[in-house]
Amino acid sequence: MPLTPEIRAFYAAPAMMTELGGHAGAVRALPVGVAEVSAAVQGLLIHQFWQEAYGVAPSPARAEQTHRRTAAAILEAVGAAPLRQARAPAERAVGVCRHFSVVAVAMLRAQGIAARARVGFATYLQPGLYLDHWVVEYWHEARGRWVLADAQIDAVQAAALKPDFDVLDVPRDRFVLAGDAWRQCRSGAADPARFGILDMWGLWFVAHNLLLDFAALNNMEMLPWDDWGPMVPPGEQPTPEQLVLFDRLADLTLDPDTRFAELRGLYREDALLPVPAQVFNAIRQRLEPV
């Protein structure tokens, strides 16, 4: 279906996490397009768990950068040099897939391109597993559809992972949206124990990513370890009430354009789903202001 003016405007305008602040002018000076934006982001950020592949020794001090939520704050860590100038790996901002996606979305929106961050599970990071991951979904005018793009996978990572597809046009069976993962696990088509990351696996984690994806579709792209509202505690099974809620969120997040009004209405009107003024940072084990 064509992108309505309302939806285009919502996903082409900066929001709380994609506001660029003083970097907006520099971003507008970058070459236009998802390939160009992805290249720029890869020259400015480094993934926390890939640092050694670039010859960088991880440090606790630099790991603190992963807790920056806004695109403007993330870019503060790369200094004042022009954003088109790739930093040496040790001088890049440290983040995870979420940071690559949020900065790329912010840059695409600054260029007038409708884009949104999506949360789910990648099948191309570790064979046989569905690993927690974020990508960019942007509106491709020529094709008249949304396209998934992985702004994190540069030449170094591609050489190690050997993806058999264009990372700027990720097939939807290679990146499984959280809502699709939830449906597959609920129907018995997939094993929840294969969805997660590190020591966190199971249906509770799928639910966690589903709420993150719902929030991101409402322009609140939270940290992957932020907790609030109806999230299922780690290792626990969802209650019957939670199953009903997450079934609905899966339906909405898998059809966000057709059901845009419902998606936005539920986010605004529900007592627990909206991101509150404070969320619990599960890594730092403390409440933090959004």
> Is residue 284 helix, strand or coil?
coil
At 226, which helix (H) or strand (E)? strand 226-227
* Tally of structural domains, the chain: 1
For residue 80, the model assigns a pLDDT of 87
User: In the beta sheet, which residues pair with residue 132?
Assistant: 121
At 131, which helix (H) or strand (E)? strand 130-140
For residue 71, the model assigns a pLDDT of 98
Report the C-alpha gap between 229 and 279 in whole angstroms. Answer: 9
For residue 28, the model assigns a pLDDT of 85
| Overall pTM surpassing 0.85 (yes/no) | yes
Residue range of the domain that includes 198? 5-289
pLDDT along the chain (290 residues), means of 10: 93 98 91 96 98 97 97 95 95 98 98 98 97 98 97 98 98 98 98 98 98 98 97 96 98 98 97 97 98
Question: Please, is 142 exposed, middle or buried when counting C-beta atoms within 10 Å of its C-beta (0-12, 13-18, 19+)?
Answer: exposed
Report the C-alpha gap between 75 and 54 in whole angstroms. Answer: 20
Report the C-alpha gap between 289 and 2 in whole angstroms. Answer: 37
Reading the block at residue 64, the tokens are 């603190």
